[in-house]
Amino acid sequence: MDNVSTLSAKISIEHLTYRYPFAKNRSLEDITLSIDAGQSIGIIGRNGAGKSTLCYTLSGLIPRFFHGKIEGSIKIDGEDVPTMSVEKLIRKVGLVLQNPFSQISGAKMTVYEEVAFGLENLGIEKDEMHERIDTVLKQFDLYKKKDKNPFELSGGQLQRLAIASVLALQPEILILDEPTSQLDPCGTTEVFEAISQLKTLGITVIIVEHKFEKLVEYVDKIALLNDGKLVKYDTPEKIFSMPQIEDYGVGQPIYTALCKRMGLKKPNGYYPVSFNETVTLLSGLKMYE
Amino acid sequence: MSDAVIKVDGLWFAYKDNEYVLQDINIQFDNRPTAIVGQNGAGKTTFVKVLKGLLKPSKGDVWISGTNTKETTVAQLSKIIGLVFQNPSDQMFKSKVIDEVMFGPQNIWKDKKDKNFVYEQSIKALRIVELDNKLEEHPYDLTLSERKLLCLASVIAMDPKIIILDEPTIAQDRFSTRKLAEIIKELIKDGKVVLTITHDMDFVAENFERTVIFYQGQVLDDGPTEKVLSNEENVATAHLELPNLVRLAKALDFKTTPLTIDDFVEEFSRCKKAGD
Ligand SMILES: Nc1ncnc2c1ncn2[C@@H]1O[C@H](COP(=O)(O)OP(=O)(O)OP(=O)(O)O)[C@@H](O)[C@H]1O
Ligand SMILES: Nc1ncnc2c1ncn2[C@@H]1O[C@H](COP(=O)(O)OP(=O)(O)OP(=O)(O)O)[C@@H](O)[C@H]1O
Ligand SMILES: [Mg+2]
Ligand SMILES: [Mg+2]
């Protein structure tokens, strides 16, 4: 695997293996990977590959909420995640769950209070709290819904609320599990824009996402999971240029599929993954004629 | 249009007094593969809940197969119209996958069909979504993607004329999304009227003949997908984006709107030959 020293890595996972209580099979098996501080990483894989489970181990939900046996190690800045204090963990890591309905506390009467809930738990001061809440509600187009009950929101609005309430916590490491599954296309772009903004602040972002055309424009590397195992951890172009990529049931960016179909590679020998790369490649071809 | 199975006339709807979430909707649906798209909060889910009779119009009328929904009951309607909810938990309440799927058909065919028939029908539906190996599992132990498919099976098992899918691709990987597209095609071939709400523009481009854009409780555009999804102004207004291939085609000055990779490759080689 990569030769990046695990010492300098913000997150380092070594030989991580995990099985849910009573489950027949392991959901994660011998995973080793490291993520440098400030990197953006995509996690991809077919349904049931173990993406959410990996998110749970990174955020400490495993083993605190989901029990079961963990083998190997998972460290943030050299400190073991499974034994780290909860106070420290919630400051360091924020997780946006795959299902926004699970994220909502259910205890709060308004959208505004729902965002405030997490901040109060962190002991953030009132003025700063209000400022943070206003910022995220505006950022995700929820400000006019601030006095509504979360259960009166549309599906996409609820997902926006789930993202907003985690972003407001300003964690050092942000993990998003399919955060855009119910968002309209502009909302999806806004989430990715927010991520690239966080990146400039040095925040480490880990995102599970099926919309590869967007994903490849924002992440440094992609971890491809299959059957609980790490198949490959590399740059998007290397991941999607793998000859066996179709075997993992994940598909590929439509631009890559198109170029493979047309037999077109970039000068570096890999297939294009993004819109811009494909435009460059195809308009070059048009001009030669 | 005489073969419209759903007819909506001057429909208004508010959850609370005077906050109209749907405003004067006039539209008809037939058996063309149809996608409904639009911004978060545009009113798509509300609209299909009205069609299904779960919400009553504040004003206006909805006819399902010629019957005004005001003159019938939700129970009667559920024989002709099935809705796969955006949030699967809204729809599930049994402790076994097979019981969950059998629940609907058992109710609508109470006296008319025997239990065996209902069981066969349910197994058939579970086979279509490839969950027939999980009959005894608890629905809440399924993953989100499986739960969405379970809800689809529950609707298919009731064999309604109209099937509405509210964001079926949520949580599905590429493979399952492709499978969903095939299921939709099969349902339409079997004579069903299928409406699909989705935010996935590539999925729409590839699979649906007609696209309807909702915007702030109204219909902003409605027509052949090729036309609706290449109108940049409407697409931007509605907080949507062009399908990826359409965006690429525009950047390369194509004169056509390719909806599939096949369309794209064909037009690209035509351009090259023609030297334009
Ligand atoms: N609470 C649980 N108890 C037992 N097994 C579980 C539990 N949650 C998940 N699993 C199993 O662990 C494996 C990995 O599941 P996980 O949810 O991590 O996959 P995923 O890649 O996130 O899938 P999806 O794309 O459907 O979200 C699957 O086989 C799943 O059935
Ligand atoms: N139960 C409710 N009570 C009050 N208002 C509601 C309720 N459900 C939805 N709304 C509001 O009605 C509007 C339309 O919501 P709807 O769920 O129909 O949107 P949608 O187009 O399906 O959005 P999405 O793409 O996010 O699923 C939204 O502004 C929403 O906040
Ligand atoms: Mg998952
Ligand atoms: Mg909706």
Task: Give the model confidence (pLDDT) of B147-159 as tens digits.
Answer: 999 999 999 999 9
Looking at residue A108, what is its pLDDT? 75
Tokens (6 digits) for B229: 């999804």
Ligand 1 pocket: which residues have CB below 6 Å? A 20, 23, 27, 45, 47-53, 66, 98; B 143-145, 171, 173
Looking at residue A5, what is its pLDDT? 40
What gap in Å lies between CA B156 and CA B167, rounded to an integer?
16
- Interface check B234 vs A, CB under 8 A: no
- The pLDDT of B137-142, averaged and rounded, is 89
- The pLDDT of B130-145, averaged and rounded, is 91
Looking at residue B4, what is its pLDDT? 85
For residue B1, is pLDDT > 50? no
Looking at residue B275, what is its pLDDT? 62
The list of chain A residues with pLDDT below 70 reads 1-9, 286-289
Among B45-54, B253-262, B265-274, the range scoring the smallest mean pLDDT is: B265-274
Of the segments A80-89, A194-203, B82-91, B209-218, which one has the largest average pLDDT value? B209-218
Looking at residue B276, what is its pLDDT? 54
Tokens (6 digits) for B246: 């359409």
Confidence of residue B43 (pLDDT cuts 50, 70, 90): very high
- Indicate if ligand 2 lies below 6 Å from the C-beta of B46: yes
Looking at residue A164, what is its pLDDT? 96
Ligand nearest to the CA of B21: 2
Looking at residue A4, what is its pLDDT? 43
Question: What pLDDT digit, counting tens, does each position of B172-201 carry?
Answer: 998 899 999 999 999 999 999 999 999 999
Tokens (6 digits) for A83: 């034994």
Q: What is the maximum span of chain B, computed from C-alpha positions, in angstroms?
A: 69
- Indicate if ligand 2 lies below 6 Å from the C-beta of B43: yes
What gap in Å lies between CA B127 and CA B136, rounded to an integer?
14
Looking at residue A106, what is its pLDDT? 79
For residue B264, is pLDDT > 60? yes
Q: Mean pLDDT in chain B?
A: 93
Shortest CB distance from A48 goes to which of B40, B143, B174?
B143
Q: Which amino acid is at B16?
A: K
Looking at residue A2, what is its pLDDT? 45
- Partners of B143 on chain A (C-beta within 8 Å) are 47-48
What gap in Å lies between CA B168 and CA B102, rounded to an integer?
21
For residue B167, is pLDDT > 90? yes
What gap in Å lies between CA B57 and CA B15, rounded to an integer?
10
Looking at residue B18, what is its pLDDT? 86
